[in-house]
Amino acid sequence: QTSLINFTVTIDGLEDQLLANVVRLERPDLEELKADLTKQQNDFKIRLKELEDSLLSRLTTAGGNFLGDTSLVENLETTKKTAAEIAEKVKEAKVTEQKINEAREHYRPAAARAALLYFILNDLNKINPMYQFSLKAFNVVFEKAVERAEKNDDVHIRVANLIDTVTFSVFNYTARGLFERDKLIFTTQVCFQILSMKKELKPDELDFLLRFPAVPNCTSPVDFLSNLSWGGIKALSAMEEFRNLDRDIE
């Protein structure tokens, strides 16, 4: 029997990795506390399993009179007490973990932008197979950008600075390795993807920009527009935001 494991990086998985990286650089105390909590939770599970195994072993080897076995009763009481203590600590740890996650989430927009940029880079090989970008090298660019970003005590302003610096650094890093004719495609793709991520890009407008579905057999009423361009104006006028554009030009 053979198991196939897919190690392909997903955008959500990469976003979580980059979030851990940026929090490690920005708030090492949070990341260290989160790691300690994870280890503590695992230790709790191991301790509970050991107590359960010990209790089951004693029950298996015990004679008919359980109540007469002092050692077994004491072990049962110890297991019960320890389980209660662990349950209380787990409850406290969950509250702490929630607070840590809330603090970490402030930095998610920066990680999301970086993950988006990497996948744009990763798709450039569809333009030219020689465009190959290493995730390891990308992480180096990302971490240097985090270090260069302007500091600010306000976390929201700091995250905005991180987003701008990461975007600019990745753009410069990528553009240096592109042919001149491909730089405009890359810039446009970055622009469209960022706008789409921010829900600021309307699909019908993007479709018009990319396909230019002009209305056929139109005669331009003005000298500065060709018949084809006027057909595009007519198609654009069918959208709510550009309604009556053709009449305004006429």
Rounded distance, CA 234 to CA 217, Å?
11
Please list the ranges in the chain whose pLDDT falls under 70: 1, 3-7, 62-69
DSSP letters for 67-125: TT-HHHHHHHHHHHHHHHHHHHHHHHHHHHHHHHHHHHHTTHHHHHHHHHHHHHHHGGG
Give the pLDDT score at 189: 94
Asked if residues 165 and 25 have their Cβ atoms less than 8 Å apart, the reply is no
pLDDT at 62: 66
First-to-last alpha carbon distance for the chain, in angstroms, is 72
Residue 192's pLDDT is: 94
Is the full-model pTM beyond 0.85?
no
Q: Minimal CA–CA distance to 175: which of 185, 162, 160?
A: 185
- Report residue 215 as tokens: 């209305």
* Alpha carbon separation from 245 to 68, 83, 108, 223, 231 (Å, rounded): 94, 73, 41, 17, 12
What is the DSSP code (8-state) at residue 240? G
**Distance (Å, rounded) from C-alpha 88 to C-alpha 8?**
39
The confidence score (pLDDT) of residue 49 equals: 85
Those residues whose C-beta lies under 8 Å from the C-beta of residue 146, and which sit 6 or more positions away, are 21, 22, 25, 26, 110, 162, 165, 166
pLDDT at res. 96: 83
- DSSP assigned state of 124: G
8: nearest Cα among 135, 169, 106: 135
pLDDT computed for residue 65 by the predictor: 62
What's residue 92's pLDDT? 82
Residue 15 to residue 105: CA distance in whole angstroms:
11
Helix axes 28-61, 11-26, angle to 10 degrees: 110
| C-alpha closest to that of 113 among 185, 19, 10 | 19
**Quick one: three-class SS letters along 102-115?**
HHHHCCHHHHHHHH
Residue 155 confidence (pLDDT): 93
Number of C-alpha atoms within 13 angstroms, CB side, residue 195? 12
